[in-house]
């Protein structure tokens, strides 16, 4: 007999960014889909993406091999060649699907009909975009369709507590059967059974003090998958975006890579350019190199930030190509046509994640991972700019095809969430204090430059936090803040363990104790 707070769907999608929404729309004509999102449908890292989507769209000037070569170079020898080819070969089709959905990409008078820009690490102009707010334009378009589709049930202000698996139910087969989900507003945990469960929860940028990510990026998918028995890989590769706006009133505002693609220069406060001293590609080097160079120069000169100079471009050009950046900076008293933009690096993208195959399947049957949550093999040791939205689209399509082809299975009777042995929390301050401590020591010890000693200190503090959180979780009713903190601490723990296993400096992982590159690139894989 079903508990009254139990629901069943064909597919349960946790997360509402580009990966989750594109998957839902591809499945909804034949499947009953539930989409769980912690805030509103529009709140995701995808919606904050500025630059665009990398794809082979100019068949004369560009090619699959050229896009792959750029991805391999950025990935520092660690990209999986099969996965990379799979993504790049499907890139033009993925973009065409978005065009067919009505996404208003920026047009021009070329034969292709759409403006293509160039970003760091790319040898060609291949970034299709909607001015400087591509993610927002894509998200608005898809969100409207998701809300209108009769087969998609949207659960906003809901957060997954944990996955329901065969192991946890005492069954012999460890398949995923859905998740326990907290209705944040009603403060009730519901049981959602599903034949297929998809993790599309984004990255773990909130583990760091400074990040370009929204507050929802708390490593939920990685943590839940790990607890369910999935492998994770390459979590040491946390990408720090080189240019986050440095201003006390500008929380997590990104200055797009495309600004440098259009000729912006990085300068010290006295006006000196420094990127040519760090890489022959200068400002168009890959993000890991630019972020490390900025970090180095800030520490060497004892300055709080560096500056991005695009003042050589006319104001009309800047308003046309970067209207949101221009307007936001102007609100803060920075006229980018006349003033340099103060910038600092900030945690931006989790390159590793839950190990998946080309159909987005994890190690647990019935459980999929797509988007930033997954480790597909595309990004290697450093993500190439604008490959992330592309990855969301391609693996959402492959997951949709696999799920649609699966035979229908009966969902077993699932137990209700048990709160009989817990009470209401007496001191919420424990959660906020632990959250603040985590973000500060991750920034100091597991940031752009690492050492063995720093990683040991971080792991010691992680163990202390985990004991406190486990005790709290066992004794008090769950809340949104507790669930996020629990997941974020576990994700941080896995990042540190991956970093400790890598005895070299490669891509985004730079260690002073192991500054050299090993002759053979190997993935860092952790098994539960």
Tens of pLDDT along 330-374? 999 999 999 999 999 999 999 999 999 999 999 999 999 999 999
Is the pLDDT at 503 greater than 70? The verdict is: yes
pLDDT score, position 3: 64
Burial 108-139 (b: 16+ CB within 10 A, else e): eeeeeebbbbbbbbbebbbbbbbbbbbbbbbb
Is the distance from CB of 212 to CB of 44 less than 8 angstroms?
no
Residue 83: count of CB within 10 angstroms of its CB: 21
Q: What is the dihedral of CA 345, 346, 352, 356, to 10 degrees?
A: -120
Residue 399: count of CB within 10 angstroms of its CB: 29
Q: How confident is the model at residue 177 (pLDDT cuts 50, 70, 90)?
A: very high
Q: Can you tell me the mean pLDDT for 419-441? A: 82
Q: Please state the separation of Cα 505 from the chain's center in Å.
A: 22
Place of tokens 């990408």: 239
52: left (phi over 0), alpha (psi -120 to 50) or beta: left
Question: What is the set of domains in the chain, with CATH numbers?
Answer: 6-236+351-405 (3.50.50.60), 244-347 (3.90.700.10), 429-513 (1.20.58.100)
Is the pLDDT at 171 greater than 80? The verdict is: yes
357/443: higher pLDDT: 357
Give the pTM.
0.90
Sequence-distant (6+) residues with CB within 8 A of 153 are 9, 32, 33, 34, 35
Name the strand (E) or helix (H) holding 116: strand 116-117
Please name which of 168, 162, 165, 175 lies closest in space to residue 365, comparing C-alpha atoms: 175
Which among 118, 175, 287, 506 is annotated as catalytic? 287
| Cα-based distances in Å from 452 to 209, 408, 455, 457, 490 | 21, 50, 5, 9, 20
| Cα-based distances in Å from 74 to 77, 382, 385 | 8, 6, 9
pLDDT tens digits, one per residue of 121-140: 899 999 999 987 888 999 99
Residue 287 annotated in active site: yes
Please name which of 193, 144, 185 lies closest in space to residue 164, comparing C-alpha atoms: 193
Is the pLDDT at 73 greater than 50? The verdict is: yes
DSSP string, 196-237: EEEE-----GGGSSSBSS-TT-S-HHHHHHHHHT--EE-TT-
Please name which of 358, 21, 391, 374 lies closest in space to residue 199, comparing C-alpha atoms: 374
Please name which of 183, 194, 239, 123 lies closest in space to residue 509, comparing C-alpha atoms: 239
**Mean pLDDT computed over every residue of the chain:** 93
* Rounded Cα gap, residues 508 and 238, in angstroms: 6
46/233: higher pLDDT: 233
Q: Can you tell me the mean pLDDT for 485-511? A: 97
**Residue 8, beta-bridge partner list:** 193
Q: How confident is the model at residue 288 (pLDDT cuts 50, 70, 90)?
A: confident
């Amino acid at each position: 007999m079903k508990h009254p707070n139990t629901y069943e769907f064909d597919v349960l999608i946790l997360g509402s960014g580009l990966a989750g929404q594109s998957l839902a729309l591809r499945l909804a004509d034949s499947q009953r889909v539930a989409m769980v999102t912690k805030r509103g449908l529009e709140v995701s890292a995808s919606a904050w993406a500025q630059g665009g989507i990398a794809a082979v769209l100019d068949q004369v000037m560009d090619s699959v091999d050229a896009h792959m070569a750029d991805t391999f170079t950025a990935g520092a020898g660690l990209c999986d060649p099969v996965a990379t080819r799979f993504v790049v070969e499907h890139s033009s089709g993925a973009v065409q699907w978005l065009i067919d959905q009505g996404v208003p990409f920026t047009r021009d008078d070329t034969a292709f009909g759409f403006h293509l820009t160039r970003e760091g690490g790319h040898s060609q102009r291949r970034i299709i975009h909607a001015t400087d707010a591509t993610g927002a334009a894509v998200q608005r378009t898809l969100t409207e369709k998701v809300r209108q589709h009769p087969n998609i049930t949207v659960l906003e202000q809901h957060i997954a507590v944990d996955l329901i698996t065969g192991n946890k139910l005492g069954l012999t087969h460890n398949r995923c059967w859905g998740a326990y989900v907290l209705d944040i507003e009603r403060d009730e945990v519901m049981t959602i059974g599903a034949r297929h469960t998809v993790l599309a929860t984004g990255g773990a940028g909130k583990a760091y003090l400074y990040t370009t990510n929204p507050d929802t990026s708390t490593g939920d998918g990685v943590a839940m998958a790990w607890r369910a028995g999935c492998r994770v890989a390459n979590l040491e590769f946390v990408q720090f975006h080189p240019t986050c706006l440095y201003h006390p009133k500008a929380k997590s505002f990104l200055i797009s890579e495309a600004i440098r693609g259009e000729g912006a220069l990085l300068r010290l406060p006295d006006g000196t350019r420094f990127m040519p001293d760090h890489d022959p590609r200068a400002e168009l080097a890959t993000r890991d190199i630019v972020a490390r160079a900025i970090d180095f120069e800030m520490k060497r000169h004892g300055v709080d930030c560096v500056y991005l100079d695009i003042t050589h471009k006319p104001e009309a050009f800047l308003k046309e190509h970067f209207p949101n950046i221009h307007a936001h900076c102007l609100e803060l008293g920075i006229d980018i046509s006349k003033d340099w933009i103060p910038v600092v690096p900030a945690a931006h993208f989790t390159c590793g994640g839950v190990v998946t195959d080309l159909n987005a399947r994890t190690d647990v049957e019935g459980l999929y991972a797509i988007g930033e949550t997954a480790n597909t093999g595309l990004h290697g040791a450093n993500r190439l700019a604008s490959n992330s939205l592309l990855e969301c689209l391609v693996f959402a399509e492959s997951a949709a095809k696999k799920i649609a082809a699966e035979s229908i299975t009966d969902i077993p009777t699932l137990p209700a969430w048990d709160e009989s042995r817990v009470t209401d929390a007496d001191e919420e301050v424990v959660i906020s204090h632990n959250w603040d401590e985590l973000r500060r020591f991750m920034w100091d010890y597991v940031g752009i430059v690492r050492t063995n000693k720093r990683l040991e200190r971080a792991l010691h503090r992680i163990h202390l936090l985990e004991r406190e959180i486990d005790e709290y979780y066992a004794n008090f009713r769950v809340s949104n803040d507790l669930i996020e903190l629990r997941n974020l601490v576990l994700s941080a723990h896995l990042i540190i363990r991956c970093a400790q296993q890598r005895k070299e400096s490669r891509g985004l992982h730079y260690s002073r104790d192991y500054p050299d590159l090993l002759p053979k690139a190997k993935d860092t894989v952790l098994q539960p």
